[in-house]
Amino acid sequence: MVWPFSRRARKSIARIEVTGVIGAAARKRVLEALKDIEERRFPALLLRIDSPGGTVGDSQEIYTALRRLQDKLKVVASFGNISASGGVYIGMGAEQIMANPGTITGSIGVILRGNNLERLLDRVGVSFKVIKSGPYKDILAFDRELTDPEKRILQELIDVSYGQFVRTVAEARGLSEETVRSFADGRIFTGEQALELGVVDRLGSEDDARRWAAELAGLDPDKAECIDFEEKKSVLQRLTPGRSHTLTLAGQQSGIEFSLPALNATLDWLEFERTTAGLPLWLYRP
């Protein structure tokens, strides 16, 4: 596809912001934006990350696309309030990384959670009859405890995913795997600590990262335009930009109000929890 304004793009910086949990929707949006950026021949990309991480596969696909893009343009990542676990992983796809001194980052590791409702089901008198093709087909079933062999299988799965994470960080940051494992135990740390550990390259704001991307691409930081590849908004969001909506429960006298953006964020999180139950996650869970 030939873009009519590609000349403008070649003198500008593309910007993508990744916020919230990383899942299928975030992956689809970011990959589509990266394709547009490549076709329009931007010389640099500013990747703003404000995410606690998310699913393993989606994080890996974003990382892989960013690494491929490095052959065609400069990629600088800016860590915001939080860039942890899968947020760190996709950041490894950038050529250079900048974080605020107080950014919460790290949480390099894997977590898998399942629900055991066996005692609750016993209390209400509900049981399940299961016919399966093999002993592990219903692993992580919510109506029973894990067996020891199942625990070993899941731990091996976690260990393999963890090894992939460690190798990627080591390769991207020029560190040994042993060095990465010394701080990749799930702990979180600040941007300042991340600089000392070699996880990021510099400390600074998003604007500092933008200027750095411009310099790397041979652009004037004071003149280079930053073009934002924003998430596509719904019709309702476009009709009501910037408004703060609230819902009042049980009449005005209840004093209970909910912000619609906060409510939507909560519902999105609950949906993420539902759809990722039993999956290995690169996610910081405070």
Q: Which residues are catalytic?
A: 85, 137
Please choose, from the candidates 262, 254, 195, 207, the residue with its C-alpha nearest in 3D space to the C-alpha of residue 78.
Answer: 207
Element (H, E) at 152: helix 148-173
Taking the C-alpha atoms of residue 248 and residue 11, their distance in angstroms, rounded to an integer, is 48
8 Å CB contact between 166 and 108: yes
Taking the C-alpha atoms of residue 60 and residue 83, their distance in angstroms, rounded to an integer, is 15
Block residue for tokens 């691409």? 217
8 Å CB contact between 28 and 203: no
Taking the C-alpha atoms of residue 241 and residue 18, their distance in angstroms, rounded to an integer, is 20
> Cα angle at 34 between 19 and 103, to 5 degrees?
30
Exposed / middle / buried, residue 249 (Cβ in 10 Å: 0-12, 13-18, 19+) = exposed
Exposed / middle / buried, residue 18 (Cβ in 10 Å: 0-12, 13-18, 19+) = buried
The 3-state DSSP class for residue 167 equals helix
